[in-house]
Amino acid sequence: MDRRTLAGLRITAQGLPTAAAWTSVHAAASAFGAHQGQDLAGVVASLALRTSGAVDPVLDAFSTGRIVRGYPMRGTVFAVAAEDLSWMTQLCADGPIRAAVKRRPQLGLEDWHVSRAADVLLGLAHDRSAPGRGTGVPRAELFDAWRMAGIDPTGGRGYHLLVHLISTGVAAYGPWTGEDTAVVDAARWLPAGSTLSDRFDDDRVAATAELLSRYLQSHGPATLRDFAWWTKLPLRTIRSALPLIEDTVESGPIPGTEETAYWRPGLTEEYAAGEKDAMRELLLPGFDELVLGYPDRLTFMDAADHAALVPGNNGVFKRAAIRRGRVVGTWTRKGAAGRRSLSLTPLAAVSDAQRARFERLFAAFPYTAL
């Protein structure tokens, strides 16, 4: 397996070469386990690119409660199937929660702020969190209510409290408001029976095996260390979980390493049959799982191109233009509304024919009105 093949297999596994790799947004979210979701417009595009190619079904999936956003791992926002948020967060979020609590004194926050913030949030959100029908509470309204209750949300305090309440299962980001996803009462909005205890009888190895299976099926070829980085779960737990799902994946070496990689059955044959499609041009949003789903991104680019994609390595990702499994440029859109055009910054030679194909992808790209 050379680098190009590894890139092609991952592109294929992630459902990008063909339209409607998954029949619904919920199915795509569930299959991946989690999609990086800190850039809301980006995750909407990521899910659209793997399903119908349209934005509205993704926004509808948020508004009807089939998918949600939360902080299941790494202290970062992810979009997940609604029935997965509770147990995934309980499995993976302990470390980020502890780290955030240690920073709380620097923000001038005490325990009473947290409990008061929870009471205010639930008082506002409860009646607006009817499953699939509620409108939720816009973040600005919530912060105003906290201010009225004596909690100053400025200086990062509001964000800290909201992240904590979502990470501890009090709240979630639910329905689409036209500008954002509103805050909901998690106990009302999320499906019943979706906690770690409900789903896995508090068996963390079994839960790890479920999440590992989804990661390898959707991101593979990938290693156990890739999954450990993605979730921040201990390798010892992951190694204990592997035998529970090992007969559902195929395996082989990763180029340049001695580690074993795993992937879904039939992937190599699917890629061989559709290699031409997998190697075609792709335009991705800035925080797509194809780029952010692995600790080593150099499968798709060299170090210099990575520096251009993530200037200063500051965690802010530009949008990637990909061809033949390589990042060949970054892109954005320019011009006034209704007259947008593609602005492509090449990192490698791009022919007129290739640029024309990128232009067609740009014209069909699933934008939200953000």
Terminal Cα distance for the chain, rounded: 40
Please tell me the predicted confidence (pLDDT) of residue 225. Answer: 96
Residue linked to tokens 């970062």: 76
Please tell me the predicted confidence (pLDDT) of residue 368. Answer: 77
Do residues 321 and 315 touch, judged by C-beta distance below 8 A? no
User: Which residues does the chain have with pLDDT short of 50?
Assistant: none
* Tokens of residue 143, six digits: 């912060």
What are the strands, taking DSSP E only, across 158-295? 171-176, 181-185, 250-253, 260-263, 282-283
Residue linked to tokens 């979502």: 166
Query: Using CA atoms, how far apart are residues 147 and 153, in angstroms rounded to an integer?
Result: 7
Which one-letter amino acid corresponds to residue 104? Answer: R
CB atoms within 10 A of CB 20: 12
Do residues 68 and 172 touch, judged by C-beta distance below 8 A? yes
- Residue 84 to residues 145, 199, 229, 260: CA-CA distances in angstroms? 29, 9, 20, 28
- Which residue ranges form the domains of the chain, and what is each CATH number? 18-197 (no CATH), 203-272 (1.10.10.10), 274-363 (no CATH)
How big is the chain by its Cα radius of gyration, in Å?
Answer: 21
Query: Using CA atoms, how far apart are residues 160 and 142, in angstroms rounded to an integer?
Result: 13
Q: How far is CA 154 from the centre of its chain?
A: 27
Q: How far is CA 114 from the centre of its chain?
A: 27
Please tell me the predicted confidence (pLDDT) of residue 369. Answer: 60
Do residues 13 and 267 touch, judged by C-beta distance below 8 A? yes
